[in-house]
């Protein structure tokens, strides 16, 4: 008898469940915990997200500052004019 795992069976899989197929083995269902179920991983991802958001905000602020500086130089005639 041949073990099969139909499309209908696959559609009934719950979140985190997957079908494992190995040569010479019958297909079986395995469960993988989601990120929100792993406190340490969830905290680490949150910390990295906060770091990326902070760096992005700083980079955006620098772009705005650079644009303001360039605009100021073009209006005043250059950096030396600003010092007089």
Distances (CA, A) of 21 to 3, 35, 52: 11, 24, 38
Residue 20 in any domain: the answer is yes
pLDDT at 59: 87
Q: What is the mean pLDDT of the chain?
A: 80
Residue 1 in any domain: the answer is no
Decide: pTM greater than 0.85. no
Asked if residue 42 and residue 26 are part of one domain, the reply reads no
**Cα torsion 74, 79, 80, 83: sign:** positive
Work out the average pLDDT over 7-25: 85
pLDDT value at 60 more than 70? yes
Asked if residue 76 and residue 54 are part of one domain, the reply reads yes
Least confident of 34-38, 44-48, 55-59: 34-38
Rg for the chain, CA atoms, rounded: 28
Range(s) of the domain holding residue 28: 7-32
pLDDT at 51: 95
Task: Reduce the DSSP state of residue 16 to 3 states and report it.
Answer: coil
pLDDT at 84: 45
Total domains present in the chain: 2
Asked if residue 58 and residue 24 are part of one domain, the reply reads no
pLDDT at 54: 93
Distance CA 25, CA 42 (A): 34
Contacts 24+ apart (CB under 8 A), 36-43: none
pLDDT at 1: 41
């Amino acid at each position: 008898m041949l073990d099969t795992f139909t499309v209908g069976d696959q559609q009934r899989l719950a979140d985190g469940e997957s079908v494992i197929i190995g040569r010479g083995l019958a297909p079986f269902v395995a469960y993988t915990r989601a990120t929100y179920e792993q406190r340490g991983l969830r905290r680490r991802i949150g910390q990295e997200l906060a770091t990326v958001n902070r760096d992005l905000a700083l980079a955006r602020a620098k772009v705005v500052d650079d644009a303001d500086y360039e605009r100021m130089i073009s209006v005043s005639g250059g950096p030396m004019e600003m010092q007089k």
